[in-house]
Structure 1
Amino acid sequence: MYQNTKAAFTKLKNNKFFELSVICVIIISALEIGAKTFPLSNTAVSITSLLDTFITVFFLFEISIRFLTDDNKKHFFKSGWNVFDTLVVVISLIPVNDSEMALLARLVRVFRVLRMVSVVPELRVLINSLIKALPQLGYVVLLMFIIFYIYAAIGSFLFSTINPVLWGDIAISMLTLFRVMTFEDWTDIQYETMEVYPYSWIYYMTFIFFTAFAFLNMVIGIVVNVMEEEHAKEKNKNEPSLSELKQEISELKSLILQLDEKQKQ
């Protein structure tokens, strides 16, 4: 009985229509969350409440199927995505109204949109790549912070009398430099200081070269490299390894030899 039920649930889980249904429900959940940010009529509030109940029940059903069809249930919660999905579903069961944890329940319902990442394998590869790239990115970010700090100190010393709003202290100067790095009206800041220091353009050009061009390209290069490694790992998982092929060939050879011996006898 259990095996038949498990086989039926496994067939349902692997069904493309069911996978599309999960994605559609996640999209509906996102739209329902967005709709609640607008002023709604009593009818619309009732509809969103019914939708919220349906979405919660559907997600509970879907995570239950995934757990029941897992071959190794002890390792089910060793996957970070399974833990995340389970927490979102369990906390979504908290009633939104008349509860001390209503705010938590509402916030968790927002994170239901992130379940799209756990459902779509390509998105999982992207997130895993970003997470695995963090240790390497940390050194680049640290070096970028050092450059920011040096340039902010220089800018504060030189330009604080010109515009204390932008260069009053080192913290404000770093925010101003972030604005320069993102090219948000940075030429206005440059021309303002050039009226007092004509060669201050060198300060801005070198800062933009180090941050916007050099370091950001380093970040992109690291992320792309890790993404390629993750795609290669996923491809290797789906394709049989050389050792597995050799083992299968040796098993086939042994079977053929056994059949030949039986025929001779």
Structure 2
Amino acid sequence: MTDTAKLQQQFIRLRSNKVFELTVVFVIISSALLVGAKTYELPEGVALLLGWMDHLITAFFVVELTIRFLAEENKKRFFHNPWNLFDTLIVTVSLVPINNSDMALVARLVRVFRVLRMVSVIPELRLLINALIKAMPQLGYVLLLMFIIFYIYAAVGSTVFGHINPNLWGDISISMLTLFRVMTFEDWTDVMYETMAVYPLSWGFYLSFIFFTAFAFLNMVIGIVVNVMDDEHEKIRKQKAEANHEPTIADLQQQIAELKELLVEQQRKPEVGPDEQRS
């Protein structure tokens, strides 16, 4: 093994070290707390100390990203990973000086988003984000159907209840905001009782809307996300099994099916009698 290969193995072990991973998480949390602390009015000495801490955190992120890059076997594909690209962008923009710069506001905002690096460090958080992204096509149709329901109910509410309270039902856009308030159960009974004083049966309008949105559609959204997460967990288990050369559930099911076919074929073969064996 060459010296370069040995050095890369050391970087790989360092990247996979639990202490190193926990240190990265601790620094990310400290970075988030540092951004929050800077929103307060602080004495000059404390502000100076926080400034130096910010420089140290940025330097640590540069070192950490460099270690991950050097530990990558195929360095040309390092930036093909969206999480590596995201971390590199955050760290690079963090190098922009905050004071006396036209990019000062951008640099401060990017430092706020450094807490999102927690997602790229913790695999469970990456799994959640990946599941949400992969569920977006299915969620898009559910959200489109929900928008149609919102639009229909807003049009009905604006037409029927507009003269009762123009502030809540004056036009279709305001009516949709009112319906969002009803869906989130934010004092929705006050809105309902106001219209029931004029239309006693208007409670059916609100209850049916809540049934469609708060119960039916939101449960559909939860179901889609849960199914996608189950698929992601199954893919991870399959990848681990392949890496460890272990049979997966699908492989076992296939082997059981092949054994069943062999048994069925053997049962279908005619039994050979003694006379046929002698002949």
- Partner residue in 1 for 2:146: 144
SS of 1:239's equivalent in the other structure is helix
- Partner residue in 2 for 1:29: 31
Q: Is 1:181 aligned to residue 183 of structure 2?
A: yes
Structure 1 position 12, deviation (Å): 1.4
- Unaligned runs of 5+ residues in structure 1 are 247-265
1:5 and 1:77 map into 2 onto residues whose CA distance is 21
The one-character-per-residue Cα deviations of 1:193-244 (angstroms, maximum 9, x if unpaired) are 00000000000010000000000000000000001101111111111279x5
* Correspondences of 1:58-73 after superposition (within 5 Å): 58-73=60-75
* Correspondences of 1:119-138 after superposition (within 5 Å): 119-138=121-140
SS of 2:84's equivalent in the other structure is helix
- Partner residue in 2 for 1:223: 225
* RMSD value, Cα: 1.3
2:143 and 2:131 map into 1 onto residues whose CA distance is 17
The aligned length equals 245
- Partner residue in 2 for 1:56: 58
Quick one: structure 1 residues 245 and 205, their matched pair in 2 at CA, closer, same or farther if it must change by over 3 Å?
closer
Partner of residue 117 from structure 2, selected from 115, 118, 121: 115
The one-character-per-residue Cα deviations of 1:29-87 (angstroms, maximum 9, x if unpaired) are 01001101111111111111011101100000001010111011111111110000000
2:119 and 2:160 map into 1 onto residues whose CA distance is 47
Between 1:212-221 and 1:34-43, the stretch displaced more is 34-43
Q: Is 1:162 aligned to residue 164 of structure 2?
A: yes
TM-score (norm 1): 0.90
Moved over 6 A (4+): none
1:54 and 1:10 map into 2 onto residues whose CA distance is 24
- Unaligned runs of 5+ residues in structure 2 are 248-279
- Partner residue in 1 for 2:241: 239
TM-score (norm 2): 0.86
The one-character-per-residue Cα deviations of 1:85-114 (angstroms, maximum 9, x if unpaired) are 000001100001111111111111111000
2:8 and 2:47 map into 1 onto residues whose CA distance is 38
Percent identity between the aligned chains?
63
Question: Which one has a bigger Cα radius of gyration?
Answer: 2
- Partner residue in 1 for 2:14: 12
The one-character-per-residue Cα deviations of 1:147-195 (angstroms, maximum 9, x if unpaired) are 0000000000011111000000000000000000000000000000000
SS of 2:242's equivalent in the other structure is coil
Q: Is 1:102 aligned to residue 104 of structure 2?
A: yes
Structure 1 position 8, deviation (Å): 2.1
